[in-house]
Amino acid sequence: MKTIVLKALHSYLAGAVMVALILPACFSASGQENDKLKSSIEEINSRFVDLFGSGNADTLASFYTADAHLMIPGAPAMSGTDNIVTYWQGAINAGINNVKLETTDVSGCGNEVIEYGKYTIFAGDNFAVDNGKFIVIWKKAGKEWKIFRDIFNSDNPPPIARSVLNDTVLIIYNYVKADKVEDFKKFNNEFLHPLFLKENNAAAMSARMLEPLRANEDGTYTYIYLMDPVVSTPGAYAFLPPLSKEYGEERAREIIKEGFTDALARPQVQRRFVVRLTGR
């Protein structure tokens, strides 16, 4: 009996030692190779972005394993490269023309790596329309890394109902000086929009700010206010009332001057249109 117990204990300890030897090696290797893996993934992502910008999603099929899954918010997982390519082509056809991918970290061991990152999606004249985070599981296929699971979701709240037939949409173009871009963004993101939301202002619910990807030829940056649909209540989009309520009128006027008035290189341009059905 004693012999049997000792043999069993010996076998267990041998296995435990083997696992102890394997696991630290794996974790150690992943730590040592982290920068190299991250660099490799970033290089693949760069090629993905370039091909996405070409407008032909068929070129993206080679980035995925045959049994890959694309998992997007609000929809079942899409399986296989054909369905994934169809999804990306639909996004391109809808006006998505560019994407920025930033790898923040990678982890893994052997033939499987997990990438963590952030994304920004651009549409139209290269305006940022969404940003969020993603997790991608990569698998080694021969000597190449391919996407096995692709999961992402937005950092932005769920979209509200937008314009319907006969609604009016207002677009305001703000031409911002290059050296005032950060002031302009701070004014909108840290002062104006939070106060509209705080008061549950209907204007805040309908308004969005679209950011440009690059400068105009004259060095300015075009930031768009999109009111979709526009709120017709007089003064709905006025800056001074909510800022005065929060900071007092004198400070409110200073905030508007520093972050908005002084930031504009030239007067705003406004375009208003009514949603109509179009024939095909």
What DSSP string describes 20-48? HHHHHHHHHHHHHTHHHHHHHHHHHHHHH
Cα–Cα dist 45/231, whole Å = 41
Q: How far apart are the first and last CA of the chain?
A: 87
Whole-number pLDDT of residue 277: 60
Res 118: pLDDT? 97
Beta bridge partners of 251: none
Query: How far is the C-alpha of 265 from the C-alpha of 209, rounded, in Å?
Result: 18
- In this structure, the strands spanning 64-71 and 144-154 are parallel
Among 123, 129, 218, which residue's Cα sits nearest to residue 176? 218
Whole-angstrom Cα distance, residue 51 to residue 11? 54
Q: How far apart are CA 175 and CA 105, in angstroms?
A: 36
Closest CA to 46 of 2, 8, 98: 98
Reading the block at residue 52, the tokens are 């996405």
The answer to whether domain 168-274 has CATH 1.10.10.10 is: no
Q: Where are the beta strands (DSSP E) in the chain?
A: 64-71, 78-79, 96-109, 112-123, 127-141, 144-154, 168-176, 207-212, 221-227, 269-274
Distance CA 82, CA 200 (A): 43
Domain ranges across the chain: 31-154, 168-274
**Residue-level pLDDT at 23:** 39
Is residue 65 helix, strand or coil? strand
- What Cα–Cα distance (Å) separates residue 127 from each residue in 73, 208, 221, 274? 21, 12, 11, 22
Model confidence, pTM: 0.61
pLDDT of 278 reads 54
Nearest to 256 by CA among 243, 237, 269, 267: 243
Residue with tokens 């006006």: 95
31-154 classified as CATH 3.50.50.60: no
Q: Which two tokens stand for residue 234?
A: 């007089």
Q: Which two tokens stand for residue 193?
A: 């929009």
Pair of tokens at residue 94: 């809808």
149: Cβ contacts below 8 Å, ≥ 6 apart:
68, 69, 71, 135, 136, 137
Q: What is the pLDDT along the chain (280 residues), one digit of tens a residue?
A: 444 433 443 443 344 333 333 334 444 444 667 888 899 999 999 999 999 999 999 999 999 999 999 999 888 999 999 999 999 999 998 889 899 999 999 998 778 999 999 999 998 777 888 999 999 999 998 889 999 999 999 998 766 667 788 889 999 999 999 999 999 999 999 998 888 877 766 777 778 889 998 899 999 999 999 988 888 888 888 999 999 999 999 999 999 999 999 999 999 999 998 887 654 4
